[in-house]
Structure formats: structure tokens, C-alpha cells
Amino acid sequence: MSLLDTLFRNGHLRTLDHALAQSLRRLDASTPDAMLAAAALASLAVAKGHAGLSLREPQALLDAEAPIDWPSADAWCACLAASRWVATPDDADAAADPHAPLVLEGGLLYLRRYREYERALAWGLQRIAVQPVPEAGIEPLAPLFATLFPQAMHDDRQARAAALALRHALLLVTGGPGTGKTTTTARLLVLLVAQALHAGHAPPRIALAAPTGRAAERMAESVRHAGQALATDGIDADLLAALPATGTTLHRLLGTIADSPRFRHDRDNPLPYEVVVVDEASMIDLPLMAKLVDAVAGGTRLVLLGDPDQLPSVEAGDVLAAILGAAGEGDAIAHDDADALQPLLGDTGALAQARHDEGTRFPGVRVHLQRGWRQSEALDLAPLAAAVREGDADAALSQLRAGTLSNVHFHEDLIDPLDTHREALLAHFRALGQAATPADALAQSTRLRLLTAVREGPQGARTLNARIERLLAESGGPVRAAQGHFHGQLLIVTENSYRHRLFNGDIGVCLRDAAGTLVAWFPGEDPVNPRAFHPAALPAHESAFAMTVHKAQGSEFDTVWLLLPARGNRVLSRELVYTGITRARHALHVAGSDAVIREALDRHAGRWSGLGWRLDRLQ
């Protein structure tokens, strides 16, 4: 049996992957089977979140160990390089042959479109990073800077990030939950406003964006709160007035076009902002990041915020990790930056040691924030998160079992929280249908969430949602409408709909209006005025009482139940557990076994990508 047939008949390929291979066979019956199998696997690789297929470890794509007789990597590469269907560009900067659907480069086999996304993104980031920013004196900003960052002379990383934003067009601010990324951003923006005013310019137009509506709303809320705090510290009201009051999704920022993957804003019609700040950068996939960078105008600053320890994007690429790899650890500061920023940062020993020679790293600068956590003081999550992040299963399990972490609860070997904690969970879900307004219901929906590692199976999100719906109905809950929706149902959109301006991951709730009509409500630009849709008209969606950890990225909940599968699964990783536990604000419940937790913390959620080496070669 051929390799392609073996993969397809054993359920390793999707119908779409197999169809790509079959289309190449129909166009040229002499196409070798190794070529057809590689094409199908390249398609599957994108579906699994990779930018391309690594020919040296194809087994990693399969959901289970399988006795596949793989070609040797060298022989496979030679076969592909000789194929009419595969472009092998000599120049990494050049576009691939548009007549070839696949590209072999850097040890990866790409679908051509994804290779072009990588190439465009690498050049776009380089373009932004090296462009000059408006020159303005640093010294006049020193009094304001001292008020914003009173600890700056002690090598404060938040202060360093804000200072570097005055001199660089591409800034990466990374850190765990609550390390102050958005608070730093608010102060950074005040400085940029002051810099423009001192230079005699109008305040910069500023956009706040994130991959999901909830994440954008959270960032805008943080900036608003930071602005209010700065007002009490005596910061000039004119500076604070220039801060944006709202955030938006990246899709809305770029301008969706109905029934098209293109956006209104691109290289020829760039975004009309002088500063673009993007939160939750780890969630941004390769195509979307490429389109965002393409739409950033010359002279515009791009600030990317993110947590490098979270899961990579659901779709193709691990963009943030690749960018951070090229940008370095974020502890160094260039000689000319240190000299220019000395009036703000001083010249402490730590700062002097951090200097490095010019030209040794990607021109964009990175600062990694380390102190503080988003969670309330009542939730002692930092030690557990650190152990998970480092893959230290012994330390993580010891902390969970000791029960000494405030509001962290370990339910070892618990398989079914809907059995042992049914009433507490159902009480929350029933309360959604009792909210006074749709806005109240959406706000209440963030109080508790069941998060799972997997979508299918006994501990999967789909099974849990079906059980919750049944339990609500059995306990006298709402009657399901003919279309399958019901009053109080929590929904999550599962595909992008540019026509509706609803996107994968958006959360809504179904409520009956005064006339008894069931309406699906989703957040809009104004938090107090949600948008209304007829449930039957929504794009693909499902219930969201339980969600996968991937779907929960960019969100946070007062109480989180993280339910791990009863048996090991290849989707498990330390990034998944870290992302799941750090969604909690006030209380965390972890249900899982010793073996499954150890398996998860032993595995990295890596992605195949060529973006890192593309950025390295541009330095």
C-alpha cells in the first residue's frame, strides 16, 4: 500500500489533505507517491498549527504512534526538489514560483501561501524596526518620566520599556499575567503623547487591539483604569485625554471585507494611526500577523504585548516565539540607547552591564517584565505557575497536594466535577438566564468557566456542554427552542464571519426579550450596549459553559476549573496547563491525575516554522 493510502485509510489525514494530493495526481499521473503524501502532510501540518512540514519528524503530526514506513529525510527532499509541484527558491528574499503550490525551504515543505506569509512578515517586521521615529529631546520629559516611574533609577523594567518606546518603532513587552504589561503601556503612551507635544506635533493617534473582543476590552479597561490612577498622581489632563478609551479586535482594526480573507487596510491603504498597541500577541497566527504588519504605515510605532509561556495560536505559526527568539532575552540595551536615555534611566550598574554592541540583534527591542501577578491577593498562584512554566512536575504536584496555596484547590484523580460539584456549577449557569440585562449576563459569564484540554471525549468540552445542557433542563431549566438554542445559553463562535463582524472565540449569551423572542447577544464596541443577533443567523457556534484552554486564551474568569483528561493525550503540554491556570482571577480548581500532569509538564507545545531563521538572517 502506498504511503498516501496508508495515511488516509488509517485516519491520519483529513479529507481536505487527501483531496489536495489527489488533485495533483489528476493533473499529473506520474507524480510520485512520496510527493503526494508530502503534499497531504503539508496541508495537515497547517491544520495542526505549523507553518510547514518537517520532513525529518513527520510522525509528530499523527495523533497516535503508528508503524509508518517513512522515507528518509534526504531521499524525500530530493524527490520533492525534483517535482514540478515544488518551488525551491535560491533566494529566501524572493517570491516563490506562483505556479508551484508547494515550497521546499529551510528543511520545511510549505504550502506556498504560508511560505509567502513568513517571508512578508519577516521583511515587514524589519521594515518597522529600522524605520526612524520622530526625533524629540529626551531631557524635557525627565520630570514626567520620574512621576510615571519613580523606581526608574533602580533598573525598573517597566520604566525601561517605556523609555525605549521613545526611540524605537518596534517594541516587544513580554511577561506573565499581571506583570504590568498594560499598565506599562498606559504610561508609555502618555510619554509618547508628551514627546509629540514637546516637538510641536499633534498628539499621536493610538489604536488598541487584540485577537479577541474580550482581550481588547480587557486591555482598554486596564488603560482606562491606569489613566484614572495617573490623574490622581497629577499627570496633566491633556496628556491623559489623548489615551484611547476603547479597544478593538484585529479584524475590526484592519477592516473586514464581507466574504473575503482580505482587509481594507494593507500596504496600499495603511492604518491611520501613529501608534498601534496589540495585546495577547501569542494568540496571533501567521497570516493575521503578516496582514497586520503589512498595514502598519511608515513612521508608525508597533507595540506587541504577550506572554511567551502561553499556548501558541490555534492557527498556523508560533509567531511571538519566533520574534522573541530573534529579539533576544530583553536584558540588554544598546550603547546609543543607554546614552540617549541616561536622563531618564540614569546609569546604574545593572544598566551599564546590560549594554551591548550595536548590530548584534534584531532591531526591534524587547523588555521582559517579571514582577507581580494579575490574580487577586487572595489567589496565591505564582509559585504553581512558575513550576508549571519550568516543567517541574514534582514541585507543581507538591504545591497542589500541600493545599497551602490560597484559593488553589487540587482534585486529584477527579474525573467528573459535574457529579461531585454539580449544584455549585449549575447555580452559576442558571444565573445567566436571571440577569437583568444582556450586558449584565455577559459580565456574569466571566465569573466561572470549565476549561478542558480536549474537545472530544468524556472530559472534552463538547461532552461537558451536552451534559450541562441536559442537567439544566432536568432541573427545571429553560426549554430548548426549535433551532437548538435556549434562554441563558452561553455561546462561542467557532469561525470568522466578516459579514457579522463575529470572530472565532467571541462569546455571547442567548436571552429572551420582553416579547419572548430569543436573541443572541454579543459584546460590541460599547460594553453596555451588546449587539443582538437572531440565533439562527449566527455563524458556526456551540455552547460555551465548558471551553478548551485554546479557546479561553485572551480571557480571564473569577473561578476556573481546569479539567485534564483521564488518560494521556498528545495535546497536553506545559503551555496548555500554564495557560489554563492563569485564566483564574480569584480561585482555581485543578482536576487531574499524577501521571497526566507529569506528561503535560514534560512536553513543549512546539511549532515548525522558518520565521526565526528568516529574522536572524535579516540582522
- In the predicted structure, residue 355 carries a pLDDT above the cut 50: no
Would the pLDDT of 242 be above 80? yes
Q: Quote the pLDDT of residue 449.
A: 93
Integer-rounded Cα Rg, in Å, for the chain is 25
Average pLDDT of every residue of the chain: 84
Over residues 410-425, mean pLDDT: 89
Q: Which residues lie closer than 8 Å to 394 by C-beta, 6 or more apart?
A: none
Amino acid 358: pLDDT: 40
Query: What is 221-285 written as a DSSP string?
Result: HHHHHHHHHHHHTT--HHHHHTS-S--EEHHHHH-EETTEEEES-SSSS--S-SEEEE--GGG--
**Could you tell me which residue, 308 or 41, shows the higher pLDDT?**
41
**Using one digit for the tens of pLDDT, what is the confidence trace for 185-202?**
888 999 999 888 888 888
Q: Range with the lowest mean pLDDT among 114-118, 499-503, 558-562?
A: 499-503
Q: Cα 20 to the chain's mean position, in Å? A: 29
CA 608 to chain centre: 17
For residues 295-320, one letter each, b for 16 or more C-beta atoms within 10 angstroms of the residue's C-beta and e for the rest, the string is bbbeebbbbbbbbbbbbbbeebbbbb
Assess whether pLDDT exceeds 90 at residue 80.
Answer: yes
Residue positions counted in the chain: 619
- For residue 551, give the 3-state DSSP assignment: helix
Cβ atoms 73, 67 nearer than 8 A: no
Residue 570's pLDDT is: 81
Which range has the worst mean pLDDT, 65-69, 136-140, 373-377, 475-479? 373-377
Q: Helix axis angle, 574-581 relative to 594-601, nearest 10°? A: 110
pLDDT for 506 equals 84
Element (H, E) at 395: helix 393-402
pLDDT at 482 over 60: no
Query: What is the structure's pLDDT at 156?
Result: 78
| pLDDT-based confidence at residue 131 (cuts at 50, 70, 90) | confident
| Residue 69: pLDDT over 80 | yes
What pTM, to 2 d.p., does this model score? Answer: 0.83
Is the separation of the CB atoms in 575 and 68 below 8 Å?
no
Query: What residues are paired with 109 via a beta bridge?
Result: 53, 104
In this prediction, residue 295 has a pLDDT band, given cuts at 50, 70 and 90, of very high
Q: Assess whether pLDDT exceeds 60 at residue 19.
A: yes
What is the C-alpha to C-alpha distance for residues 406 and 561, in angstroms, rounded to an integer? 15
DSSP for 196-209, written as a single string: HHHTTPPPPPEEEE
User: Is pLDDT at 353 greater than 60 in this prediction?
Assistant: no
Average pLDDT, stretch 7-15? 90
- Check: CB of residue 265 under 8 Å from CB of residue 276: no
What pLDDT is recorded for position 166?
84
User: Which helix (H) or strand (E) element contains residue 389?
Assistant: helix 382-389
d(C-alpha 59, C-alpha 62), whole Å: 6
- Higher-confidence residue of 481 and 603: namely 603
Could you tell me whether strands 301-306 and 275-278 are parallel, antiparallel, or unpaired per DSSP bridges? parallel
Pairing of strands 507-512, 518-522: antiparallel
Residue 38 banded pLDDT, cuts 50, 70, 90: very high
Per-residue pLDDT, averaged over 349-372, amounts to 57
pLDDT given for residue 528 in this prediction: 76
DSSP secondary structure code for residue 498 in this structure: T
**Taking 50 as the threshold, does the pLDDT of residue 349 lie above it?**
no
Element (H, E) at 86: strand 86-87
3-state secondary structure of 591: strand
**Mean pLDDT, rounded, for 98-104:** 91
Segment 581-604 shows an average pLDDT of 91
φ and ψ at 8, to 5 degrees? -75, -45
pLDDT of the residue at 113 = 94
What pLDDT does 371 receive? 62
CA angle 544, 545, 550 (to 5 degrees): 55
Kindly write down the DSSP assignment for every residue of 523-545, as one continuous string: --SSTTS-EEE-GGGS-SEEE-S
Q: Give the tens place of pLDDT for each residue, 325-344.
A: 777 655 556 656 666 666 66
Higher pLDDT residue, 212 or 470? 470
- What are the cell numbers at 255? 477592516
